[in-house]
Each structure stands twice: as structure tokens, then as C-alpha cells.
């Protein structure tokens, strides 16, 4: 399917990365279980939070180490799905899965307090969306894809800035919540607007923009970082990305831009509805305990706490 049958188990599932993710997940359960007594104010972690954390780890693994990651090196549309899973789905799920007493312990020993201004809503939104848009400038995107260390570093920075961006919306600590309901609504609109230019340029481009997905030599070099074997052998065997793509490069690029914008709009629109509902109740004097949305809402894209 989509050419995945031509690759080995290791290429598809990245066993070393999977082992690392499983170790991190095991560490989470040890932290909230046997080690929880060492934390001030610790309490049993609800099953819902554990499920959210595991779901977030699964989404991150699929996007960065599973088949979606491999497909993202062959088709731009899957690259955008990988980006959405990594930063719009995995990050908020992981953040919500961590109990408040762990967050308090982390923030108490935070060595980067001097950089706390980066978590300011406007700064965080500009940082994440700016870096995301910068990455999709063709010359920068192709350079990052062809240099493994730069690639990993850039993705790590994107992950951190995504966390800063999401903090305004899903801050689990009542004493640190600064944004009002109206402020959160404005913040959601800001994020929806900031990503639009990059997606628009990708969708309405009159030609394929990225050599990684259109030039066979560039594609083979980029593929060399995610599959075993000589890139030259890949080029000889398949001839280039066109062998796997059932869409023309330009159409694939347009589908990728549309997919990214659609996923972002769906997630943020769901959150907007949730935040507006609770803000409206509060403004009208109705009881609003600002509890987290139920699991069904989270799974449908609301991914936030009011």
C-alpha cells in the first residue's frame, strides 16, 4: 500500500525510536505510580489522563518514527499529516496527560525562568507559527530535510514552541491561568490566522516547490536518513518519488497544504466552541467549574481545558 511493501520492518517502524518511546511511557507510569509519593501534593492520576498521555505518545511515534514518517519522506501530503500529528495533536495530548502536581514540580526547578516571556501568548503564537512557516520556505525545507542533525534540532525546537503555544489554552495549573475566556478566543483566532499565509502559498503555488518531493537525486538523499541502505540504490530501484506518489507533485503539494489547514481549523474551531461555551456561561452567571472536556470531546478535537 502506497509503496510501503518495498521497505523493511525496521524502515517502517524504527525499532530504536519505538524502544525510546516505550521507555519514556514506562517512565511516566513509574513517575505517577511508585515515585509519586516523593512529590508534594501528589494524588492518584485518573485513567483518562493516562489514556491521553499514551494516545499522545502513540501519535508522536506514528508521526516521527512509524509509517507516517516514512510516507512523509515520499509525499508532501503525508509530511503535512506528520507535522499536524506531531504539533497539533501529540503535544496537547501529552500536556493534558501530565498531572498538575508533576507540572508544579517541573516549574519549581525550571532552570529557564529567565525565558518565561517566551510563554506569553502572543510571543508563543508568533514563535511557533513563524518557525513553522519559515520551515516551509522551499530552500529552507530542502536544506533541513538533507541535513539530519539540523532536521532533528529544528523539529525539537518546533516541539518546544508548540508546547509554549498550547500552554495558554490547556494550562493545567489554576494558579497560573492568566488568559480569560475572551483572551483565549482571541488567541485561537490569532493562531488560525498566522498559519494561513504559509498554507495559502503552498496551496496556490503554480509549480512544485520542494526538490525533496520532485527531484529524484534530492529525494534519494533525504530518504537516506530514514531508511537503511545506499541512497543511490534507492534511486536505482525506484527512480524517484514519482514511483510511490499516486498524485502529481503539484497536486500532492496542494493536498498537503489543504490537509494541514483543515486539521488546524478543525482542532482550533473545536476548541473555540468549547472555550466560547464556558465563557458564555460564566458571563451569564451560570456555574462553570472550568473542568476539562470529557474524553469524547478531546478525541473529537477540542483538546483543551477551559
Q: What is the pLDDT of residues 269-292, one digit of tens each?
A: 988 888 887 777 777 766 554 444
Total number of domains in the chain: 1
Mean pLDDT value across residues 58-66: 95
Q: Which three cell numbers stand for residue 248?
A: 502529481
What gap in Å lies between CA 99 and CA 230, rounded to an integer? 45
In a domain, 146, yes or no: yes
- Judge contact between 181 and 306, C-beta under 8 A: yes
Q: CB neighbours of 219 closer than 8 A, spacing ≥ 6? A: 73, 74, 211, 212, 213, 240, 241
Q: Is the pLDDT of residue 111 over 70?
A: no
How far apart are the C-alpha atoms of 186 and 205, rounded to whole Å?
Answer: 30
**306 found inside a domain:** no
- Print the domain residue range for 77: 8-299
Work out the number of other CB atoms within 10 angstroms of the CB of residue 150.
13
**Mean pLDDT estimate for the chain:** 87
Residue with the bigger pLDDT between 286 and 303: it is 286
Report field, pTM of the whole predicted structure over 0.85: yes
User: What percent of the chain has a predicted confidence (pLDDT) above 70?
Assistant: 91
| Per-residue DSSP letter, 267 | H
The answer to whether residue 235 sits within a structural domain is yes
Mean pLDDT for the stretch of residues 239-260 = 90
Query: Does any domain span residue 3?
Result: no
Q: What is the pLDDT of residues 119-177, one digit of tens each?
A: 889 999 999 999 999 999 999 999 999 999 999 999 999 999 999 999 988 888 877 76
Query: What span, in angstroms and rounded, lies between the C-alpha atoms of 20 and 26?
Result: 10
Q: What is the pLDDT of residue 286?
A: 63
For residue range 197-225, what is the model confidence (pLDDT) as tens digits? 999 999 999 999 999 999 999 999 999 88
Residue 110 forms part of a structural domain:
yes
Let me know if residue 2 belongs to a domain.
no
Measure CA of the first residue to CA of the last residue in the chain; give whole Å: 41
Confidence of residue 1 (pLDDT cuts 50, 70, 90): low
What is the SS3 assignment for 155-215?
A: HHHHHHHHHHHHHHHHCCCHHHCCCCHHHHHHHHHHHHHHCHHHHHHHHCCCCCCCHHHCC
Is the pLDDT reported for residue 300 higher than 50?
A: no
Identify whether 50 is part of a domain: yes
Domain contains 221 = yes
CA–CA distance, 128 with 132 (Å, rounded to integer): 6
Residues 52, 96: contact at Cβ < 8 Å? yes
Whole-number Å distance between alpha carbons of 129 and 124: 8
Q: Has residue 35 got a pLDDT over 50?
A: yes
Amino acid at each position: 500500500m502506497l509503496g510501503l511493501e518495498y521497505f523493511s520492518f525496521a524502515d517502517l517502524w524504527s525499532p530504536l525510536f519505538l524502544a525510546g518511546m516505550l521507555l519514556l511511557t514506562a517512565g511516566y507510569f513509574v513517575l505517577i505510580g511508585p515515585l509519586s509519593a516523593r512529590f508534594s501534593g501528589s494524588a492518584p492520576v485518573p485513567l483518562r489522563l493516562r489514556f491521553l498521555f499514551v494516545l499522545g505518545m502513540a501519535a508522536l511515534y506514528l508521526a516521527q518514527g512509524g509509517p507516517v514518517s516514512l510516507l512523509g519522506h515520499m509525499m508532501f501530503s503525508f509530511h503535512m499529516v506528520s507535522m499536524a500529528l506531531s504539533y497539533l495533536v501529540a503535544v496537547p495530548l501529552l500536556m493534558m496527560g501530565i498531572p498538575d502536581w508533576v507540572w508544579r514540580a517541573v516549574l519549581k526547578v525550571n532552570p529557564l525562568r529567565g525565558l518565561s516571556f517566551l510563554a506569553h501568548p502572543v510571543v508563543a503564537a508568533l514563535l511557533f507559527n513563524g518557525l513553522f512557516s519559515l520551515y516551509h520556505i522551499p530552500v529552507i525545507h530542502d536544506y533541513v530535510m538533507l541535513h539530519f542533525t539540523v532536521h532533528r534540532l529544528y523539529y525539537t525546537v518546533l516541539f518546544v514552541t508548540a508546547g509554549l503555544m498550547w500552554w495558554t489554552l490547556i494550562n493545567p495549573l489554576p494558579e497560573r491561568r492568566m488568559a480569560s475566556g475572551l483572551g483565549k478566543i482571541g488567541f485561537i483566532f490569532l493562531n488560525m490566522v498566522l498559519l494561513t499565509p504559509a498554507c495559502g502559498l503552498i496551496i496556490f503555488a503554480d509549480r512544485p516547490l520542494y526538490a525533496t518531493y520532485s527531484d529524484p537525486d534530492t529525494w534519494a538523499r533525504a530518504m537516506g536518513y530514514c531508511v537503511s541502505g545506499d541512497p543511490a540504490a534507492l534511486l536505482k530501484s525506484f527512480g524517484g518519488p514519482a514511483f510511490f506518489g499516486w498524485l502529481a507533485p503539484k497536486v500532492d503539494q496542494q493536498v498537503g497544504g489543504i490537509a494541514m489547514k483543515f486539521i488546524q481549523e478543525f482542532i482550533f474551531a473545536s476548541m473555540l466552541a468549547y472555550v466560547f461555551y464556558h465563557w458564555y456561561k460564566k458571563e451569564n452567571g451560570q456555574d462553570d467549574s472550568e473542568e476539562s472536556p470529557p474524553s469524547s470531546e478531546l478525541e473529537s478535537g477540542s483538546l483543551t481545558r477551559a
